[in-house]
Amino acid sequence: MEEIKDREQLKSYLQAHKIESIFNAPLLSHLSLYSFDQGELICSQGDPAQFLYVLVKGKLKIYTTSAEGKTLILSFKTPLEVIGDIEYLRDIEIINTVEAVSPVCMIGVHHRWLKKYGSDYAPLLQFLLDIITQKFTVKSNTLSFNLLYPVEVRLASYLLAVSFDESDSLFKEQISISIKDTANLIRTSARHLNRVIGQFCAEGLIERNKGFILIKDREGLRALAGENIYE
């Protein structure tokens, strides 16, 4: 993590995402802009929660780890998204681990300033309420998606989610995937997933090579996934 000490850039992100109004003047002065490298952890499950982050650029992966060390990817997030909202409101430890899938920019504010200046500021509270209800809606849609759509559609959606955003010059054609984690996320068996990957290879959508997937036909995957993307 690196703090970007550029107030103009911070202001430009606030304006671009139309979130200046959710922070009052005292809180605005305590906002900071942070950058995270690809693969860097933003926060880890079980750690004390200290910051509320607003994702303004890049893509995040959110996952949980069981007591036995098994990991389960829960979702991928792109702007505009908030990390640490539930932890702040409930005053609890970090629920899930959050990792940067691409280079990421986050606006952060420490809990001490939120509690001092934002605990009764209606625009901020309304914003957090909107974000949290949206998360519940997305979770419900994802559960329905896993029940209603075949593995082919779910895998195409997953591959699109883990690749970078081409519009931001971050599109990455070759990605590394874990068969076990991917199967857990899209709710299928590793054996079935391997069969579908083989099918995609035969159809020219992807190429598999030593743990990596090379996306050869992004538009073909998009047509297969439709509007159903894991986010």
| Domain carrying residue 103 | 2-144
The reported pLDDT for the residue numbered 36 is 97
Mean pLDDT in residue range 164-179: 62
Same domain, 135 and 175: no
Tokens at 72, concatenated: 């389960």
Same domain, 79 and 136: yes
The reported pLDDT for the residue numbered 138 is 79
**Distance separating alpha carbons of residues 108 and 42, to the nearest angstrom:** 11
Same domain, 161 and 215: yes
Pairing assessment for the beta strands 81-83 and 97-100 based on DSSP bridges: unpaired
The reported pLDDT for the residue numbered 165 is 53
Residue 47 above 80 pLDDT?
yes
The reported pLDDT for the residue numbered 73 is 77
The reported pLDDT for the residue numbered 169 is 47
- Does residue 104 lie within any of the structural domains? yes
Same domain, 175 and 68: no
Selection from 72, 135, 61 nearest residue 104 by Cα:
61
Residue predicted with more confidence, 9 or 165: 9
**Distance separating alpha carbons of residues 70 and 184, to the nearest angstrom:** 10
Selection from 160, 52, 159, 155 nearest residue 98 by Cα:
52
The reported pLDDT for the residue numbered 166 is 46
How many folded domains does the chain comprise? 2
| Other CB atoms within 10 Å distance of the CB of residue 217 | 14
Domain boundary among 109, 144, 179: 144
pLDDT in tens, 178-231: 788 788 878 889 999 999 999 999 999 999 987 789 999 999 999 998 876 666
Least confident window among 66-70, 80-84, 182-186: 66-70
Same domain, 19 and 106: yes
Selection from 90, 5, 13 nearest residue 54 by Cα:
13
Mind spelling out the 3-state secondary structure of the chain?
A: CEEECCHHHHHHHHHHCCCHHHCCHHHHCCCEEEEECCCCEEECCCCCCCEEEEEEECCEEEEEECCCCCEEEEEEECCCEEECHHHHHHCCCCCCEEEECCCEEEEEEEHHHHHHHCCCCHHHHHHHHHHHHHHHHHHHHHHHHHHHCCHHHHHHHHHHHHCCCHHHCCCCCEEECCHHHHHHHCCCCHHHHHHHHHHHHHCCCEEEECCEEEECCHHHHHHHHCCCCCC
pLDDT in tens, 100-153: 988 999 999 999 999 999 999 999 999 999 999 988 887 777 777 677 889 999
Residue 69 above 80 pLDDT?
no
Same domain, 10 and 64: yes
- Does residue 64 lie within any of the structural domains? yes
Same domain, 213 and 136: no
Same domain, 162 and 212: yes
pLDDT band at 87 (very low <50, low <70, confident <90, very high): very high
Residue 171 above 70 pLDDT?
no
